[in-house]
Amino acid sequence: MMTGTLITVAATGAEADKARVPALPVTLAELTETAVACQAAGAAVIHVHIRDDEAKPTLDVARLKDAVAALRAETDMIVQLSTGGAVTDSFSSRLAVLDAEPDGCSLTCGTVNFGDDVFANPWGFVKDLYQLTKERGVVPEFELFDFGHIGSLHRLLREFGPPVGGHVHCDLVMGVPGGMPGDVATLTAAVQALPDGATWSATGIGRTTLPVLFGALAAGGHARVGMEDTTTFAKGRPVTSNAELVQRAARAAELAQRPPMTPSQARAFLGIPVR
């Protein structure tokens, strides 16, 4: 059954450099301003990475708590904190993200080469994080960068049961150098391998953004967009705001006759309680 479209905005990420990408939201004021604009444009979930006073990525729990509080005060969006952080973050600091009591969190299901770096998610960490989401009542979104991650997701559900809220929602992160490619053939194969009953979003990094967006809409999936994943709107044209990426995705979703879900529709869809 075709539903409306869940649009997630991944507004900042841990990789883009504020000096090179001035439109990147890095302060709390910039993050909340972006969130307000993105909600108005059709986003229901915000995937959050924060930065320190030097605009470098941080997992400082006090700052994360401030970000959660500010986003809740200014928007109705589902606040999903990244537990991926930056490739340099320790496993303990990534687990401590849940101390900030978000609605949801990302949970990457395996290790992947990440450009010249390695984004480390060994099984022991994945299962510890999953069990912690259950203890804390945080709804995970399963981030899948490659096919092996789908196998680990099946194992996680088999060994530890369903997530908080009872519903499995995945995000295919495609086109990372080192992960699965961002094309429609790969998207189709990945979707077929997901657990029965799972719903899914997809995002394509960089120039794979548009094929993955249109492929996901055509296949009944949902969309993640944002400056974490692409800082180029079109060839030679930098993104000027997260909201313009959300607007483009919302327009595509409307053309597909699957208009954006509101935050409250998204909460029901993802099994996230209303605050």
Write the CB contacts of 158 (distance below 8 Å, at least 6 apart in sequence). none
Sign of CA dihedral 12, 272, 168, 7: negative
Nearer to Zn ion, 32 or 82 (CB): 82
Residue whose pair of structure tokens reads 């490739």 in the numeric block: 87
Give the separation between CA 34 and CA 15, rounded to whole angstroms: 18
Specify the amino acid at residue 157: L
Interface pick for ligand KMH out of 30, 103, 143, 146 (rule CB under 6 A): 143
Residue nearest ligand KMH by beta-carbon distance: 84
Among residues 94, 97, 96, 13, the alpha carbon closest in space to that of 56 is found at 13
Beta-ladder partners of 47: 10, 80
Q: What DSSP element (H or E) covers 66?
A: helix 61-74
Of 183-222, binders to ligand KMH (CB under 6 A) are none
Per-residue x/- track, 28-67, ligand KMH (CB under 6 A): ----------------------------------------
Of 65-104, binders to ligand KMH (CB under 6 A) are 82-84, 86-87
Write the CB contacts of 46 (distance below 8 Å, at least 6 apart in sequence). 8, 9, 11, 35, 38, 71, 75, 77, 78, 79, 80
Task: Tell me how many residues contact Zn ion (CB under 5 A).
Answer: 2
Q: How far is the CB of 236 from ligand KMH (least distance, A)?
A: 25
**Which whole-number Å values give the CA distances from 275 to 68, 73, 105, 267, in the listed order?**
13, 12, 16, 10
Interface pick for ligand KMH out of 108, 111, 133, 230 (rule CB under 6 A): 108
Nearer to ligand KMH, 4 or 226 (CB): 226
Residue 195, class by beta-carbon neighbours within 10 Å (0-12 exposed, 13-18 middle, 19+ buried)?
Answer: middle
For 135, phi then psi, to 5°, come to -60, -40
Per-residue x/- track, 52-91, Zn ion (CB under 5 A): ------------------------------x-x-------
Q: How far is the CB of 218 from ligand KMH (least distance, A)?
A: 25
Nearer to ligand KMH, 91 or 259 (CB): 91
Nearer to Zn ion, 82 or 201 (CB): 82
The site partner of 23 among ligand KMH, Zn ion, none (C-beta below 5 to 8 Å per kind) is none
Is 144 one of the binding residues for ligand KMH (CB under 6 A)?
Answer: no
The site partner of 141 among Zn ion, ligand KMH, none (C-beta below 5 to 8 Å per kind) is none
Q: Which residues bind Zn ion (CB under 5 A)?
A: 82, 84
Q: Which residues bind ligand KMH (CB under 6 A)?
A: 13-14, 82-84, 86-87, 106, 108, 114, 119, 143
